[in-house]
């Protein structure tokens, strides 16, 4: 018997880095358990840290501490600079012929010797069904230990049936010491039978300054085996206090969407982001796995469309088997996460860093990076939260390899930030320049105040890639104190040769900084390219007074989304002044517009910088063409704006316009259509004898379009919602949109759309005989808004399916007076789709026939029986008259059959005699 379970156990610049490996894989703390083999040691992990040392709580759910193979828990502790020592908890429960899996899930406080919750989801009880028959229930249980020394604990076993209590344990701060939530009562479609609702659980603080707690529960067999995750709030003990905030739906059957979940703000906006794994997602082969990242929308309970995160791939990798919060381990203001793929080779753990816009891949940790000769398998299934165990201010992590009974404590490096600038003593090079000074200013800060160094050594590399320059000191080591700008001067000589006259391109110097400390990551712009212009042909003051102007042209005067794919822009530059050195174009474009790759252009934040010419002499004209792709342009944009400015090393004279703007209006050319229908189209009830049964039906709205441009689904739905005694007569069971097998959400809204429903045209039965349920006056109606879906092609349809249920008895009681004169109930859902040119609406009727129960009198049954008996007598008499029951005809057939058999026997005898004579004559002739 399947149960649904949640158990919540509570006490509640473009910047580059010197070393992208924030976690040190060459120097790890290694713990191996050799006492019992195949015990799944490290299946679950919890790091605890304090001022005097640290420990890791290790679950070994197949520990073999008894003949039944029930699990156990170990505590491995160490002081700083010491090797860990491990001991068993001593908590053993003799329960379960197949093992109770004690230690399969655990959680607790991060502080040393803090509270711990440990669960045994496979623990079972036996219940007598009769005097001869017993039944085992896989009920499960959890214990709550006030300290991780396990001297005092409370055993809880409060569940019923095969509830698998403790398949996931979550220790949530600021809640009751042991709070358990079991939503195995069907509520708001939270979960279906055997859907494994509660297979994974996370607790969430949803938004800034909020005391509320949300829960995120995975349901990997829900949603027709595509998987599902539910975000909900819960206050009190009654399941009626559950409020579903958001459902997240899987896309692939059997992907186990919801196997692990995490709610964590990784974008730094104070609003939670959601991660849901699908470790058995097919990928490019099979079971490669994926994690769906739903970024929270500010000041809202909604989320952006999910982005999929993948590992390196490979069949059976199961990427996303575990997702863990690392906290803000790099102290950049954004929370970070770890995702494991325990069967990607021998296992792998991926580190991702948070940022305002997206999640950034940082590091991939694999067993091959460790200097350990032992075999390592199943690496990453056990994955702890981030916790600072060495008191350097940066969180560390514990990773388990459960197949080979190993735990690896991996520490993070100290992170420093640095910035440096280059300032030459000259702004330009002229013919008589022989040398100049270059000042390098360096500022360094440490992110953690616990980092005990007061200064750090930087290596400074001077790369004079220009043959016209030379310096005596190309490599230098500089000691940089923290939070103090340090200046260092270097002398460069300008060589005297012919190239100094013929080559007028800027002189280039590359300056690179690095740090050699193994446990330090220097985060900053490592290399700076300095270009010093070579000026020639300008005034005696070495200032070039240019006269640059530009003009933009395009063959198009508008853009049609879906039809036009690119913008071809021509830029004409004229110089009517002194020579313009290092001419560049700064191009700013609207969001979603991308400049097609060009060797002469690069991106600087949101601006494209394109080289035009090293030198544009007086009265010269430069004409360049640039192509922009508009495939990623937001279809809601009304106008594309491209702003261009030409710059040079000189000073542009007044009166010359060196910038221009190209504006192209954007049009959507499409013709949307909207279809409304019910499945089935009608049903019936008995208005004088209604029972308590429910009648289910489905109503669908289908949105499509013709024309080249995409259509954004912006559909508002209105459903009549009459009540009787404050109970819904028509109950909305589920509402979901789908396009190309991808789901999108429809959310309740209080905004009532203005839809004019012509009831007379819709009805196929007399109006005066019908009870009309529509939303013309917007009273007693519920409204939904369906968005966040794009119809790209004319062959695609966005289908919004609404599952409804009619409570027959409530319907009859609500309209009992009307049913005296009326025989039909017309339920009319309606919807309106908004588009660029206006809106379209559609409605249809789900017709309910209300009939009376008519009783057949007894005499009708009696007359029918007499007539049937008379017909039977007539039939028998007719057959008798036709000699149907005589046997003469049958005897004749049998005689004919005997004659035929005699003829066949006679023929065989004759043939045999002929053959015998022939053989005799042949023998005489021979």
Q: Is residue 686 part of a domain?
A: yes
Asked whether residue 742 carries a pLDDT value surpassing 70, the answer given is: yes
813-817: long-range contacts (C-beta < 8 A, 24 or more apart)?
813/690, 813/724, 814/722, 814/723, 814/724, 814/729, 815/771, 816/687
**pLDDT recorded at residue 16:** 45
Q: In Å, what is the CA distance from 427 to each residue of 430, 437, 465, 530?
A: 10, 11, 19, 11
Q: Is residue 275 part of a domain?
A: yes
Q: In Å, what is the CA distance from 893 to each residue of 809, 898, 899, 905?
A: 67, 9, 10, 19
Q: Is the model more confident about 758 or about 94?
A: 758
R_g (Cα) of the chain, nearest Å = 40
**pLDDT recorded at residue 98:** 64
Q: Is residue 236 part of a domain?
A: yes
Strand 580-589 versus strand 607-616 pairing type: antiparallel
Q: Model confidence over 294-320: pLDDT tens digits?
A: 999 887 788 999 999 999 988 999 999
**pLDDT recorded at residue 797:** 94
Same domain, 373 and 270: yes
Dihedral sign for Cα atoms in the order 22, 26, 28, 32: positive
Contacts of 924 (CB under 8 A, 6+ apart): none
**pLDDT recorded at residue 758:** 84
How far apart (Å, rounded) are the C-alpha atoms in residues 468 and 471? Answer: 11
Q: In Å, what is the CA distance from 793 to each residue of 21, 592, 676, 773?
A: 44, 20, 20, 35
Asked whether residue 694 carries a pLDDT value surpassing 70, the answer given is: yes
Same domain, 311 and 367: yes
Contact 405, 34 (CB under 8 A): yes
Instruction: Return the CATH number at 572.
Output: 2.60.40.1510
Same domain, 871 and 847: no
- What would the two tokens of residue 199 be? 């297979």
Q: Model confidence over 27-70: pLDDT tens digits?
A: 899 998 876 677 899 999 999 999 888 999 999 988 655 555 68
Same domain, 446 and 336: no
Instruction: Return the CATH number at 486.
Output: 2.60.40.1460
Q: Is the model more confident about 452 or about 730?
A: 730
Contacts of 461 (CB under 8 A, 6+ apart): 474, 475, 510, 511, 512, 513, 514
Contact 408, 399 (CB under 8 A): yes
pTM of the model: 0.59
**pLDDT > 70 fraction of the chain, expressed in percent and rounded:** 84
Distance of CA 127 to the CA centre of its chain: 42
Same domain, 273 and 347: yes
Asked whether residue 397 carries a pLDDT value surpassing 90, the answer given is: yes
Could you say which of 532, 566, 584 is where a domain stops? 532
Residue whose pair of structure tokens reads 């049998």 in the numeric block? 894
Task: Please give the full DSSP string across 285-329, using - where no structure is assigned.
Answer: SSS-BEEEEEPBPTTSS-BPPPEEE--S--TT--BTSEEEEEEST
CB neighbour class for 21 (10 Å; exposed up to 12, middle 13-18, buried from 19) = middle
Question: Residue 12: pLDDT band by 50, 70, 90 thresholds?
Answer: very low
**pLDDT recorded at residue 65:** 53
Same domain, 214 and 339: yes
How far apart (Å, rounded) are the C-alpha atoms in residues 635 and 591? Answer: 11
Q: Is residue 177 part of a domain?
A: no
Q: Model confidence over 359-373: pLDDT tens digits?
A: 999 999 999 999 888
Residue 719 CA neighbour count, 13 Å, CB half: 30
Q: In this predicted structure, which of 52-61, 264-273, 464-473, 672-681 has the lowest mean pLDDT? A: 464-473
Q: In this predicted structure, which of 228-237, 307-316, 341-350, 567-576 has the lowest mean pLDDT? A: 228-237
Task: Identify the CA nearest to 178 among candidates 199, 197, 154, 160.
Answer: 154
Same domain, 510 and 550: no
Q: Is residue 395 part of a domain?
A: no
Could you say which of 828, 851, 874 is where a domain stops? 851
Q: What is the 3-state secondary structure (H, E, C) of 219-254?
A: ECCHHHHCCEEEEEEECCCCHHHEEEEEEEECCCCC
How far apart (Å, rounded) are the C-alpha atoms in residues 148 and 232? Answer: 31
Task: Please give the full DSSP string across 3-69, using - where no structure is assigned.
Answer: ----EEE------EES-S--B-SSS-EEEE--SSTTS-TTSEEEEEE-SS-EEEEEEETT--SSTT-
The mean pLDDT value for 868-889 works out to 80
Q: In this predicted structure, which of 251-255, 261-265, 535-539, 622-626 has the lowest mean pLDDT? A: 535-539
Contact 561, 666 (CB under 8 A): yes
Same domain, 244 and 368: yes
Could you say which of 637, 667, 697 is where a domain stops? 667
**pLDDT recorded at residue 188:** 42
How far apart (Å, rounded) are the C-alpha atoms in residues 771 and 850? Answer: 10
Q: Model confidence over 796-823: pLDDT tens digits?
A: 999 999 999 999 889 988 888 888 888 8
Same domain, 743 and 821: yes
How far apart (Å, rounded) are the C-alpha atoms in residues 779 and 782? Answer: 9
Residue 7 CA neighbour count, 13 Å, CB half: 29
How far apart (Å, rounded) are the C-alpha atoms in residues 806 and 831? Answer: 20
Q: Is residue 410 part of a domain?
A: no
Task: Identify the CA nearest to 786 among candidates 775, 802, 806.
Answer: 802
How far apart (Å, rounded) are the C-alpha atoms in residues 162 and 122? Answer: 9
**pLDDT recorded at residue 18:** 40
How far apart (Å, rounded) are the C-alpha atoms in residues 91 and 114? Answer: 17
Q: Is residue 139 part of a domain?
A: no
Q: Model confidence over 154-168: pLDDT tens digits?
A: 776 555 545 566 677
Same domain, 329 and 190: yes
* SS3 label, residue 847: strand
Q: Vertex 70, ends 64 and 76: CA angle to 5°?
A: 65
The mean pLDDT value for 645-666 works out to 92
Q: Model confidence over 171-219: pLDDT tens digits?
A: 765 544 444 433 343 444 444 667 888 889 998 887 666 667 888 999 9
Contact 167, 9 (CB under 8 A): no
Q: Is residue 914 part of a domain?
A: no
Same domain, 688 and 806: yes
How far apart (Å, rounded) are the C-alpha atoms in residues 616 and 652? Answer: 13
Asked whether residue 126 carries a pLDDT value surpassing 90, the answer given is: no
Contact 533, 506 (CB under 8 A): yes
Task: Identify the CA nearest to 711 among candidates 785, 795, 803, 775.
Answer: 795
Same domain, 273 and 358: yes
Contact 344, 314 (CB under 8 A): yes
- Our count of domains for the chain comes to 5
Asked whether residue 20 carries a pLDDT value surpassing 80, the answer given is: no
Asked whether residue 794 carries a pLDDT value surpassing 80, the answer given is: yes
Run of H or E including 663: strand 659-667
Domain span at 618: 545-667
């Amino acid at each position: 018997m399947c149960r649904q379970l949640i158990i919540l156990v509570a006490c509640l610049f473009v910047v580059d880095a010197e070393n992208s490996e924030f976690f040190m894989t060459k120097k790890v703390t290694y713990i191996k358990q050799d006492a019992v083999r195949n015990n799944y040691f490290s299946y679950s992990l919890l790091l605890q840290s304090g001022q005097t040392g640290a420990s890791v709580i290790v679950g070994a759910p197949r520990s073999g501490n008894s003949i039944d193979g029930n699990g156990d828990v170990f505590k491995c502790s160490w002081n700083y600079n010491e090797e860990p020592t491990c001991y068993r908890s001593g908590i053993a429960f003799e329960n379960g012929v197949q093992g109770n899996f004690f230690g399969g899930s655990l959680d607790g406080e991060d502080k040393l010797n803090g509270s711990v919750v440990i669960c045994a989801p496979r623990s079972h009880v036996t219940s007598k069904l009769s005097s001869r028959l017993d039944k085992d229930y896989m009920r499960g249980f959890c214990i709550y230990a006030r300290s991780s020394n396990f001297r005092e604990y409370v055993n809880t076993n409060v569940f019923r049936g095969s509830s698998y209590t403790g398949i996931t344990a979550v220790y949530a701060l600021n809640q009751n010491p042991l709070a358990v939530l079991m939503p195995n009562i069907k509520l708001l479609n939270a979960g279906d039978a055997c859907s494994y609702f509660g297979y994974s659980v996370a607790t969430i603080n949803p938004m800034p300054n909020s005391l509320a707690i949300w829960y995120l529960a995975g349901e990997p067999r829900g949603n027709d085996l595509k998987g599902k995750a539910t975000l909900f709030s819960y206050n009190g003990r009654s399941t009626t206090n559950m409020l579903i905030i958001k459902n997240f739906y899987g896309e692939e059957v059997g992907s186990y969407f919801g196997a692990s979940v995490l709610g964590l703000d990784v974008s730094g906006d104070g609003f939670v982001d959601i991660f849901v794994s699908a470790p058995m997602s097919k990928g490019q082969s099979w079971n490669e796995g994926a994690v769906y990242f739903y970024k929270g929308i500010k000041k809202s309970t909604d989320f952006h469309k999910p982005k999929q995160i993948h590992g390196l791939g490979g069949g059976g990798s199961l990427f996303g088997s575990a997702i863990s919060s690392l906290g803000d381990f790099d102290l950049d203001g954004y929370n970070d996460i770890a995702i494991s793929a325990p069967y990607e080779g021998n296992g792998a753990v991926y580190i991702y860093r948070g940022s305002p816009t997206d999640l950034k891949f940082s590091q991939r940790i694999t067993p091959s990076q460790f200097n350990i000769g032992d075999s390592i398998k199943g690496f990453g299934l056990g994955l702890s939260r981030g916790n600072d165990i060495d008191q350097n201010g940066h969180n560390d992590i514990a990773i388990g390899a459960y197949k080979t009974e190993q735990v690896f404590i991996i520490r993070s490096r100290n992170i420093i930030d640095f910035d440096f600038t280059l300032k030459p003593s000259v702004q330009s090079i002229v013919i008589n320049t022989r040398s100049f000074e270059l000042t390098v200013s360096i500022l360094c800060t440490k992110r953690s105040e616990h980092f005990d160094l007061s200064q750090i050594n930087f290596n400074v590399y001077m790369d004079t890639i220009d043959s016209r320059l030379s310096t005596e000191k190309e490599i230098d080591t500089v000691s940089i104190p923290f939070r103090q700008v340090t200046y260092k001067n270097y002398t460069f000589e300008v060589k005297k040769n012919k190239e100094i006259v013929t080559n007028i391109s800027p002189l280039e110097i590359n300056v690179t900084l690095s740090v050699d400390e193994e446990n330090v990551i220097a985060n900053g712009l490592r290399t700076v390219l300095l270009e010093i212009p070579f000026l020639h042909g300008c005034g005696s003051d070495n200032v070039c007074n240019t006269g640059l102007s530009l003009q933009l042209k395009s063959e198009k005067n508008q853009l049609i989304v879906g039809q036009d794919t690119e913008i071809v822009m021509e830029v004409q530059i004229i110089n009517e002044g002194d020579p313009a050195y290092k001419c560049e174009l700064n191009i700013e474009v609207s969001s979603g517009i991308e400049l097609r790759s060009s060797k002469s252009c690069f991106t600087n934040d949101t601006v494209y910088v394109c080289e035009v010419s090293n030198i544009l002499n007086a009265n010269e004209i430069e004409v360049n063409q640039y192509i922009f792709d508009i495939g990623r342009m937001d279809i809601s944009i009304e106008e594309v704006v491209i702003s261009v400015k030409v710059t040079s090393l000189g000073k542009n004279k007044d009166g010359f316009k060196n910038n221009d703007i190209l504006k192209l209006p954007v049009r959507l050319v499409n013709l949307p259509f909207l279809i409304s229908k019910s499945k089935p189209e009608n049903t019936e009830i008995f208005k004088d004898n209604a029972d308590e049964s429910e009648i289910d039906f489905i109503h669908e709205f289908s949105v499509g379009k013709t024309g080249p441009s995409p259509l954004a689904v912006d559909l508002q739905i209105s459903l009549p919602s009459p009540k009787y005694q404050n109970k819904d007569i028509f109950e909305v069971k589920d509402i979901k949109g789908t396009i190309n097998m991808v789901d999108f959400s429809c959310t309740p809204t209080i905004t009532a759309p203005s839809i004019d429903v012509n009831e007379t045209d819709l009805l196929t039965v007399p109006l005066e005989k019908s009870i009309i349920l529509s939303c013309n006056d917007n009273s007693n109606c519920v409204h939904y808004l369906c968005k966040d879906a794009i119809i790209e092609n004319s062959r695609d349809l966005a289908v919004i399916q609404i599952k409804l249920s009619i409570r027959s008895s409530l319907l009859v009681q609500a309209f009992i007076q009307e049913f005296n004169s009326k025989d039909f109930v017309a339920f009319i859902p309606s919807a309106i789709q908004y588009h660029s040119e206006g809106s379209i609406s559609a409605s249809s009727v789900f017709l309910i026939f209300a009939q009376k129960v008519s009783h057949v009198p007894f005499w009708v049954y009696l007359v029918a029986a007499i007539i049937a008996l008379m017909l039977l007598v007539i039939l028998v008499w007719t057959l008798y008259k036709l000699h149907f029951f005589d046997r003469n005809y049958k005897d004749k057939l049998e005689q004919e059959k005997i004659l035929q058999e005699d003829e066949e026997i006679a023929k065989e005898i004759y043939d045999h005699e002929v053959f015998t004579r022939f053989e005799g004559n042949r023998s005489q002739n021979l």
